[in-house]
Structure 1
Amino acid sequence: MSEYVPPKVWTWDQENGGQFASINRPIAGPTHDKDLPRGEHPFQLYSLGTPNGQKVTMLFEELLAAGHDAEYDAWLISIQDGDQFSSGFVSVNPNSKIPALLDCSGETPFRVFESGAILLHLAEKFRAFMPTDPAGRAECLSWLMWQMGSAPMIGGGFGHFYAYAPEKFEYPINRYAMETKRLFSVADRRLAETPYLAGDMLTIADIAAYAWLGTFARGEAYGDAATFLEIESYTHVERWVAELDARPALQRGRKVNRNAEGWAIERHSAADIDAVM
């Protein structure tokens, strides 16, 4: 096999993007006009049941379980069908990525995009799942940003080259396998010290990290990736995942926004999730 030599100027080859070639492009903005639906609840979530989308629905369900007025409508955004490139969705998230939130709880609705920003917004709004003391808040935000920075390495890096790329190449798989294992090691060392990432209480940092690390611990990520990466060797992560797996609200949040058996395609009331649990 001849070595790839990059051209002087890169050009877009639509035929060389692997499984997601049809939805990846190097330009921003909408491809078609379509308004987003709007429900009756204070929060309108436009999402898909991927780890990044599950972060937000899991937090909403935890807020509801804790007695907060956090009712929400969750609308399915099918990224395979290009829903994220509609004019309505781009107006809520100019980055065309799920999840995106429209906060309609006040007089003037406003958008919040990027999963970490949505988690932080809701935690501050309801004063829940984030410590209030400066040191605890800083620890929580540090681990939240750690997760946000690590997800592209795990998903777009390891996940893409291990499971989705049109061809398997040793160098990128080794490179991102090493980084994914390092990130698991970071979490494992921390969880050997404390029950949760930010200390003694469940926070948005745990919810964000659990959405990704939990899929590996349960053997749900990228085929046999859990075996390939020896995820069971991270015993403190495994303990933490098992504890979060036992939280009913988190499991409810994991069941939202996917068109598949055992999932709620949309969520407009608790009954929608009850029907698939």
Structure 2
Amino acid sequence: MTLLYSMKWLAGEHNVYLYPGTYTFTAKGGSGGNYTRSNYDSPAPGKGALITGTYTFESNSKSEFRIVVGSDASGNTAGTPDGGKGAVFTTSGITVTAGSGGGSSRISLNGNPIIVAAGGSGAGYRAIGAPGGCSDTVYHVIYTNYNYNLEAATASPSNTVECSSNEKDGRAQNPPGSGGGGGDLCGKGGIEPNTNDYAPKVGFGGKSYMINGFSCNQVMKQNQVQALYKSLLFHVIHHAKSVTQTNNVLNVQMAKSYLMEYALIIVHQVHRM
């Protein structure tokens, strides 16, 4: 394949104009943030889900795709565009902050979503964050055998909310609850449990969405994303029937950016409809 266009973009929102053809899209949701307090090493936050697959569309002209690259959370700052905010608790002059949730990454055409890669939830006190889930599955943290472990659950109103809801934010006070991950539905934020179990103080990972032709994987460890340029990535591969004039290939413009982490968009063109 011949590389005709390559550009590194900032996290945020972008408009991409693509010609009819077959594309391969890969998107990863943002990671949750760390639990922060003085002299304390945070458990690992939840990683974003990874979705990849092939998409074909036919049209008489180029079409505008909307790409939103979700950002990682940073402590109490939630990942854009839809991560839940970690709660903050202050006592005796000491401020403790639970990790916020990572933002979702998504590609849509004419307002219709093609893929939504969910973000992971923030880390809690002594407890890891939950990764972004796939399709109807979300993840949360449970305490078993003296360890905090991940458990899959079917997405439902008990663990996910519309992303416009503040229930994605952490609610527990001491220690504070972490934010849920962004997604097609956002994970609920950490709550105050009825016991000394800290697992409910960790938010749920977000719920992903994808049309037929795409596959999704939960990212459990950081080494799974090292090849993805930190945690944010979109690949756009365009196959064309013939390569003619380079100024005919693509018209790509940036709508706006949030000046967060860098993402990458790569376009290969070898044939076109």
TM-score by length of 2: 0.27
- More contact order relative to length (CA 8 Å, sep ≥ 6): 2
Structure with more of its chain in strand, by fraction: 2
